[in-house]
Amino acid sequence: MSGKRAFIGGLATATPAFRIGQKGAEEFLKEHYSHALSEKSLSVMDKIFSHPSIERRSFSFESPSVLLKEDADARIERFTDSAIELSITAIKGALEKGGLDAKDISALVVNTCTGYLCPGLSTYLIEELPLRRDIRAFDLVGGGCGGAIPNLELAAGLVKEEGGAVLSVSVEICSATFQMEDDLSLIVSNALFGDGAAAAVVREERQVREKGQGRKEEEEGLEILYSASRYAPEYREAIRYVYKKGELHNRLSVALPRLIREEAGRLVQDILRKSSFKREDIKHCAIHPGGEKIIDAVKDELGLKEDDVSPARKVLKEYGNMSSPTVLFVLEEVLKKGMEKGDLCLMLSFGAGLSTHGMLMRRG
Give the predicted TM-score (pTM) of the model: 0.95
Integer Cα distance of 202 and 8 in angstroms = 5
Q: What is the pLDDT of residues 88-125, one digit of tens each?
A: 999 999 999 999 999 999 999 999 999 999 999 999 99
Task: Report pLDDT for 3.
Answer: 75
pLDDT above 90 for 138: yes
Q: Which range is least confidently modeled, 24-33, 194-203, 207-216, 261-270?
A: 207-216
Q: What is the pLDDT of residues 159-204, one digit of tens each?
A: 999 999 999 999 999 999 999 999 999 999 999 999 999 999 999 9
Q: Could you say which architecture CATH assigns to the domain 221-363?
A: 3-Layer(aba) Sandwich (3.40)
- The length of the chain in residues reads 364
* Domains in the chain: boundaries: 7-208, 221-363
Q: What is the pLDDT of residues 304-354, one digit of tens each?
A: 999 999 999 999 999 999 999 999 999 999 999 999 999 999 999 999 989
Task: Report pLDDT for 1.
Answer: 44
Q: What is the pLDDT of residues 192-236, one digit of tens each?
A: 999 999 999 999 975 555 544 544 444 569 999 999 999 999 999
Q: What is the mean pLDDT of residues 5-32?
A: 97
Q: What is the DSSP letter of 193?
A: B
Same fold, 7-208 and 221-363: yes
Pick the CATH number of 7-208 from 3.20.20.70, 3.40.50.150, 3.30.365.10, 3.40.47.10: 3.40.47.10
DSSP string across 8-29: EEEEEEE--SEEEEHHHHHHHH
Integer Cα distance of 216 and 323 in angstroms = 39
